[in-house]
Structure 1
Amino acid sequence: MADAALDTVKEATAVDKAQVPTVVVDDVHIIYKVHGAGSGKGSATSALSRIITRKKAPAIREVHAVRGISFTAYKGEAVGLIGSNGSGKSTMLAAIAGLLPTARGGIYTQGQPSLLGVNAALMNDLTGERNVVLGCLAMGMSPAQVRERYQSIVDFSGINEKGDFISLPMRTYSSGMGARLRFSIAAAKTHDVLLIDEALATGDQGFQKRSKARINELRKEAGTVFLVSHDNNAIRETCERTIWIEHGELIMDGHTDEVVRRYEKGDRP
């Protein structure tokens, strides 16, 4: 009996550890205010006409980008976010990263979320090599850690597979090369919460395979990963859980196979 009771306690403890929340999104609303978005096209001619006639500028327009979304993500999860263009997926990631304020509701995170997108800031006039160093230092790595991981970052990105591109300025890179380097830099560090916005849509199959394997490693290292992608196969292969968002509203949150299947069929709950 004692052994059975001990096993029960161990199982309960394991469940508790597995269910550590890392991101809590509580009834979040995000509203953009767009100035000069009323009647009129906002051209220089219309602006001059308003000055001459002393008419007021067009009213401020509000865009309700996220409408009352709530969910909780846990340590070790990889969560996919799907939906049509303009549905609010990227807005939701930016808000979790702390880059956008909420109009109502709250977002609570354990640790510092890191947002990785195809437009993540690297310096175009600097070489890929310098961007790797600066990017790693910006993430809090020591110079010794940067030297230790530098070559593995370059190899992971595949930048040098067709020449010595790492020594060239970033402005000479294709968009795909830049995106691969951004992901490789971000993935070199373990993150409490890693937010990935379409960064896996670039690169060949080899790079995508390495990226998915690295995401699984990050999850095992106690991180939580969010992935926004229009590639449903990437969502299926990477995420066990998926959240479907349309018009700023949460449509479905559940096991990836079921959510993606219904999304593809347009079958809302």
Structure 2
Amino acid sequence: MADQVKHERVPTVVVDDVHIVYKVHGAGAGKGSATSALSRLIAKKRSPSIREVHAVRGISFTAYRGEAVGLIGSNGSGKSTMLAAIAGLLPTEKGGIYTNGQPSLLGVNAALMNDLTGDRNVILGCLAMGMPPAEVKARYDDIVEFSGINEKGDFISLPMRTYSSGMAARLRFSIAAAKTHDVLLIDEALATGDQKFQKRSEARIRELRGEAGTVFLVSHNNHAIRDTCERTIWIEKGELIMDGETDEVVTAYEKFNHGG
């Protein structure tokens, strides 16, 4: 009986026939008076310069505790949109997203401030994730070391605006990965940094899975997907093309891209 409970698959994210529609404001959408805009609202007329983009079209899947799920697809396929919707940052036009626990989208962007130093951002980022001050203090050195920010100088004491985009992304990942998450959503974080950092990141994702979390990884780096995720979902033009074992899905995706 104990083994049965141990191996029971616990769903953490259920995506049920989800459609996401963006409203894109074209040229002239911001012009005109507030009076004319209010008249349109009362008359229930849409501004002629607003067009709709159907970014996600009827996607359904279930993710389970302890899984690392890759999301792949061409640029503009809808994979990052899907991630933002799971995080609760985008409303669905139709369908529903249900999560067991709080999804966390890497990487605490709202808490990281360009004019503050890296060390202040580490502290603020950890506090923003709900860590008590004593835990922040205890984990601080490990976070900085993991990020590799100081490998070529004392960058952690400099303002974040002096960081390259890669350094900033590494620090964001290091902060976010310092905490165990019910559902951790990672968008292209492993595309930055050298091979050493990528290996550290992949090892940390495996640890997070071992701590009963669920990890979603969006990446154009197929090696990172293969090394990190045992399951992969392929999205193209907003539709789910394939969902299954990583090597099988990534191989099919590579054939599609190379015309094989």
Provide TM-score, normalisation by structure 1: 0.87
Counterpart check, 1:181 vs 2:176: no
1:14 equivalent among 6, 9, 16: 6
Match in the other structure for 1:231: 221
What does 1:1-269 align with in structure 2 at a 5 Å threshold?
9-16=1-8, 19-35=9-25, 37=26, 41-42=27-28, 58-116=48-106, 122-266=112-256
Counterparts in 2 of 1:92 and 1:100: CA distance versus 1, 3 Å: same
Equivalent residue letter for 2:4? A
**Could you tell me how far apart the structure 1 residues matched to 2:20 and 2:29 are?**
28
Is the contact made by 1:89 and 1:245 (CA closer than 8 Å) also made in structure 2? Answer: yes
**Could you tell me how far apart the structure 2 residues matched to 1:263 and 1:75 are?**
26
State the 1:13 CA deviation.
2.8
State the 1:121 CA deviation.
5.1
Match in the other structure for 1:52: none
Counterparts in 2 of 1:63 and 1:117: CA distance versus 1, 3 Å: farther
Is the contact made by 2:166 and 2:192 (CA closer than 8 Å) also made in structure 1? Answer: yes
Identity %: 81
1:100-159 Cα deviation digits (max 9, x unpaired): 000100000011000015966510000000000000000001110010000000000000
Equivalent residue letter for 2:96? G
**Could you tell me how far apart the structure 2 residues matched to 1:210 and 1:244 are?**
25
Counterparts in 2 of 1:118 and 1:265: CA distance versus 1, 3 Å: farther
SS at match of 2:106: strand
Is the contact made by 1:118 and 1:197 (CA closer than 8 Å) also made in structure 2? Answer: no
Match in the other structure for 1:5: none
Equivalent residue letter for 1:104? K
**Could you tell me how far apart the structure 2 residues matched to 1:148 and 1:261 are?**
43
* Residue correspondences, number: 245
- Unaligned segments of structure 1, at least 5 residues: 1-8, 49-55
Is the contact made by 1:22 and 1:74 (CA closer than 8 Å) also made in structure 2? Answer: yes
State the 1:11 CA deviation.
4.0
**Could you tell me how far apart the structure 2 residues matched to 1:126 and 1:174 are?**
15
Counterparts in 2 of 1:130 and 1:59: CA distance versus 1, 3 Å: same
Structure 1 stretches of at least 4 aligned residues deviating more than 4 Å after TM superposition: 41-44, 117-121
Is the contact made by 1:32 and 1:62 (CA closer than 8 Å) also made in structure 2? Answer: yes
Is the contact made by 2:108 and 2:176 (CA closer than 8 Å) also made in structure 1? Answer: no
State the 1:14 CA deviation.
2.9
SS at match of 1:266: helix
**Could you tell me how far apart the structure 1 residues matched to 2:172 and 2:235 are?**
26
Counterparts in 2 of 1:133 and 1:180: CA distance versus 1, 3 Å: same
State the 1:43 CA deviation.
9.8
Counterparts in 2 of 1:120 and 1:77: CA distance versus 1, 3 Å: farther
Is the contact made by 2:111 and 2:128 (CA closer than 8 Å) also made in structure 1? Answer: no
**Could you tell me how far apart the structure 1 residues matched to 2:158 and 2:218 are?**
30
Structure 1 window deviating more from structure 2 (56-65 vs 172-181): it is 56-65
State the 1:34 CA deviation.
1.4
- Unaligned segments of structure 2, at least 5 residues: 33-45
Q: Once superposed, what is the RMSD of the aligned Cα atoms?
A: 2.0
**Could you tell me how far apart the structure 2 residues matched to 1:27 and 1:253 are?**
15
1:72-116 Cα deviation digits (max 9, x unpaired): 000000000000000000000000000000010000001100001
